[in-house]
Amino acid sequence: MKIENVGVVGASGIVGGVLLQILMQHSNIKVTVATSRSLVGKYVHNIHPNLRSAKYQLKFEIFNLEKIKEKCDLVFLSIPHGTSQEITPKLLEVGLKVIDLSADYRIKNKDEYEFYYQKHKDEENLKKSVYGLPELHREEIKNANLISVPGCHAASAIYAIAPLIKENLIETENIIIDSKTGSSGSGNKVSESTHHPLRANSIRPYKIVGHRHTCEIEQELSYILNGMKYNEDNSLVKVGFSAHGVEIVRGILSTCHLFVKKDLQLEEKTVIKAYRTFYKNEPFIRFIKQQIGIFRLPDPKLIFGTNFADIGFEIDTHINRIVALCALDNLVKGAAGNAVQCMNILGSFKEEESLTYMGLFP
């Protein structure tokens, strides 16, 4: 099916706005629908002022399945967890392609999804969904009807660790991930935790154990370890994941502590080769390990507003540990950018289309 017209359901949120920003620059498609329950009739640029454009005089409208069916070939869902599984089956039934940015179709194991989130009502499509990480699932994405975009924390951790799992360089039962994220990860609803006087000057531990992205990371790393096949219970890899909120607006830095296989003495060139081999044809993965300057390893400052994921590492010979890092923009490569990259693959467009802009510096 040719993709020409797309809709964004939940377009008034932060991720919805970033989606619109990227899609409005796409040379092959047109945004024909942008929905919002509370802003019907208002211009999109009233809520997302950066999107003021003579080309797009788009207004928010209420979700209407018949109108979406008539006006769209593909729909992005930028709506809360639990809501997507109510809408997705209806969209698929009328022949639309769906790219979902909620967690509803990420976790293959229904019991694990329900442990971390809530009861799942659409197990049939859960089994059919494709995990929307192009670097791991490009071939499945090409023919998918339902694509589930990864969580931002999960994506950053997977990018940092995947090559080392693939080359069997690290222990897989004691992976420790420390992830720091900006305030945009909380969405655009005001809460005490996002209130500026409380967020400012703070590094706030907010989910030190039991973070719901843990099972997502374990699922995909187990998939790699199992020869690019899913394992029923994801028991091949065990991850300890901790998250902190820091005083930036956007961006994630995941610092991953990985213990080298017993009796394996790693040289730096072995790890470099693992990363370069795994990501050699990936347009949005950048390997950062410089000898000069102040930005010698990945830093979120350098990827704000981009679809790049910067990865790097250091080897700690004192306790035979690799410290692997990944920096990405939680709103772009961690959400909207990955979604559009998946659409480009699905639609047989150039994969980099509308995603090649560089970061601002300083």
Query: Which of the residues are catalytic?
Result: 152
Q: End-to-end CA distance of the chain, in Å?
A: 43
Whether residue 172 contacts residue 237, with contact meaning beta carbons closer than 8 Å, is answered with yes
**CA pair distance 279, 135, nearest whole angstrom:** 8
Look at residues 135, 122, 26 and name the one whose alpha carbon lies nearest to residue 74. Answer: 26
Which two tokens mark 17?
A: 């706005």
Contact 283, 341 (CB under 8 A): no
> Which long-range CB contacts under 8 A does 308-314 form with residues at least 24 apart?
308/284, 308/333, 308/359, 309/155, 309/156, 309/159, 309/284, 309/285, 309/333, 310/286, 311/159, 311/160, 311/275, 311/279, 311/285, 311/286, 311/287, 312/287, 312/288, 313/160, 313/271, 313/275, 313/289
| Cβ–Cβ < 8 Å for 176, 157 | no
Residue in 316, 181, 209, 327 with CA at minimum distance from that of residue 258: 316
Q: Is 286 helix (H, G, I), strand (E, B) or coil?
A: strand
- Strand partners of residue 98: 75, 146
Q: Using an 8 Å Cβ cutoff, are 146 and 241 in contact?
A: no
Tokens 């990985």 belong to residue:
258
Number of residues in the chain: 362
Residue pair 217/158 in contact (Cβ under 8 Å)? The answer is yes
Give Cα separations from 244 to 199, 247, 250, 348 (angstroms): 11, 10, 13, 38
